[in-house]
């Protein structure tokens, strides 16, 4: 952290009906001494153990809001950005950090999505839901990440203050096989729709998956089919051809 070794990449999230980029997710990497990038799956758990993950998440939040503000100045459009927040951070401190970062970057809360994993929510229900409710009062949106991998009951899903359901890639990868996997996916998308949540399918890699999900009424997709996590320069290039399709929601 002290060596400013964190790098943020941005993965486009597209609307399945027309492929328009409607948001990006900020994904952190750690730059090693040799210049190669280390996956967050390696160092985020370590940062959690060391009690440093709050600092990592705050650094990523500030960096992504300031970079998205730069991008907005360039393209004259504000692209909503999703940031991942660790379970250990779901306390009052997070509310203050979010508000500070928003005002520092002059970024509207409506254009920030806070992603929390289903597992994190299930572990800290009361405190977490109070905090997320307050973030939503400020105008931020909340997404449940990796939905389907945790053990939240249907009852807690109904009560959770969330706006977006991100369906875990493991479900997406199985749907091509048809049968029961397809039925389970259809049921998850239906739950999202009936609770008035936007549904996002994670880890889309084939056109066939995208077609199936669109057919089920899933709203958005994210995955290598569209783009991997991109550097700011690559994101600007990626957005260029479909500027006309970049929309605000």
Nearer to ligand C2E, 73 or 169 (CB): 169
Count of CB atoms situated within 10 Å of the CB of 200 = 30
Nearest to 165 by CA among 98, 115, 203, 130: 115
Q: Does 224 bind ligand C2E (CB under 6 A)?
A: yes
Q: Which stretch binds ligand C2E (CB under 6 A): 73-81, 124-132, 153-161, 199-207?
A: 199-207
State the alpha helices, DSSP H only, in the chain.
40-49, 53-75, 92-105, 118-123, 125-137, 154-159, 169-174, 179-194, 207-216, 232-239
Tell me if 132 contacts ligand C2E by CB under 6 A: no
Q: Does 221 bind ligand C2E (CB under 6 A)?
A: no
Q: Which is nearer to ligand C2E, 181 or 206 (CB)?
A: 206
Compute the least distance from the CB of residue 76 to ligand C2E, in Å: 27
CB of 17 to Mg ion, least distance (A): 22
Smallest distance, Å, CB 247 to ligand C2E? 21
DSSP letter, residue 87: G
Tokens 């990523």 locate to 60
d(CA 153, CA 202): 21
Residue 44 interacts with which of Mg ion, ligand C2E, none, CB < 5 to 8 Å by class: ligand C2E
Q: How far is the CB of 167 from ligand C2E (least distance, A)?
A: 10
Question: Site for ligand C2E (CB under 6 A): which residue of 21, 24, 28, 135?
Answer: 28
State the binding partner of 71 from Mg ion, ligand C2E, none, CB within 5 to 8 A by kind.
Answer: none
Quote the CA–CA distance of 34 and 21 in Å, as a whole number.
33
- Is 54 a binding residue for ligand C2E by CB under 6 A? The answer is no
Residue 41 interacting with ligand C2E (CB under 6 A):
yes
- Which positions touch Mg ion (CB under 5 A)? 84, 115, 145-146, 202
Distance of alpha carbon 233 from alpha carbon 219, whole angstroms: 27
Closest CA to 75 of 204, 242, 189: 242
Query: 């479909």: which residue's tokens?
Result: 242
Shortest separation between residue 149's beta carbon and Mg ion, angstroms: 8
């Amino acid at each position: 952290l002290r060596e400013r070794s964190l790098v943020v990449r941005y993965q486009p999230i597209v609307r399945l009906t027309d492929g328009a980029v409607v948001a990006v997710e900020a994904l952190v990497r750690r730059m090693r001494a040799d210049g190669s990038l280390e996956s967050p799956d390696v160092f985020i758990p370590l940062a959690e153990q060391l009690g440093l993950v709050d600092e990592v998440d705050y650094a990523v939040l500030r960096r992504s809001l300031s970079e998205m503000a730069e991008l907005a100045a360039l393209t004259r459009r504000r692209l909503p950005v999703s940031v991942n927040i660790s379970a250990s951070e779901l306390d009052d401190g997070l509310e203050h950090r979010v508000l500070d970062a928003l005002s520092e970057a002059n970024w509207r809360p409506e254009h920030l999505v806070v992603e929390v994993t289903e597992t994190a929510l299930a572990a800290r229900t009361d405190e977490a839901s109070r905090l997320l409710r307050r973030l939503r009062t400020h105008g931020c949106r909340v997404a449940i990440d990796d939905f389907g991998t945790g053990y939240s009951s249907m009852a807690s899903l109904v009560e959770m203050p969330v706006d977006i359901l991100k369906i875990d890639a493991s479900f997406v990868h199985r749907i091509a096989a048809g049968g029961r996997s397809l039925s389970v996916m259809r049921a998850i998308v239906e739950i999202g729709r009936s609770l008035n949540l936007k549904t996002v399918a994670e880890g889309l890699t084939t056109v066939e998956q995208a077609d199936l999900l669109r057919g089920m009424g899933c709203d958005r997709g994210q995955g290598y089919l569209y783009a991997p996590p991109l550097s700011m320069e690559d994101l600007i290039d990626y957005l260029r051809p479909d500027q006309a399709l970049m929309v605000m929601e």
